[in-house]
Amino acid sequence: MAKSLLKVTREGADAGFEVLETSGAITVLVDGTQILAEQQAAIADATDAATAITQINAILDALQAHGLIAT
């Protein structure tokens, strides 16, 4: 169960900024959408064009897991 640590709402709005803790992990929500979550795994440096594509996909996965970009 998530515990709300901080909640800020705009006047006349139900949504806003909220910080939640679930099992020790912190999640940040803006207007009900997750924008930050627990730290993601490290992404290795690319060594050539083929691994660059793989690493770009890993970056996109991490950004989506945080909620910084939509899936």
Of 54, 61, 55, nearest in space to 43 by CA: 55
What is the widest separation between alpha-carbon atoms in the chain?
Answer: 52
Q: What is the pTM of this model?
A: 0.69
Angle made by CA atoms 48, 49, 53, in degrees to the nearest 5 = 115
Domain ranges of the chain: 1-38, 40-71
Q: Give the tens place of pLDDT for each residue, 24-61.
A: 888 998 888 888 888 889 999 999 999 999 999 999 99
In 3-46, which ranges are continuous DSSP H helix? none
